[in-house]
Amino acid sequence: MAVYKCFKCEKKISHKNLEARFVCPSCGYKVFYKPRKVVKKVKAV
């Protein structure tokens, strides 16, 4: 299950909502991004 974030208001939107209508339900913006779940930790020694 993918969750996207609105680029403008940063609300989380499930991709199911975006399949129906590719607009943000709260602000109407049409640009989204995928927040990274996995953050790689690199040890800089």
Q: Report whether 14 contacts 1 (CB < 8 A).
A: yes
Q: Kindly report the CA angle at 24 between 21 and 27, in degrees rounded to 5?
A: 135
Q: Using CB under 5 A, which of 14, 16, 27, 34 touches Zn ion?
A: 27
24: contact with Zn ion by CB under 5 A: yes
Q: Using CB under 5 A, which of 12, 15, 22, 29 touches Zn ion?
A: 29
* Cβ proximity to Zn ion, 24 vs 40, nearer residue: 24
Report the interface residues with Zn ion, using CB under 5 A. Answer: 6, 8-9, 24, 26-27, 29
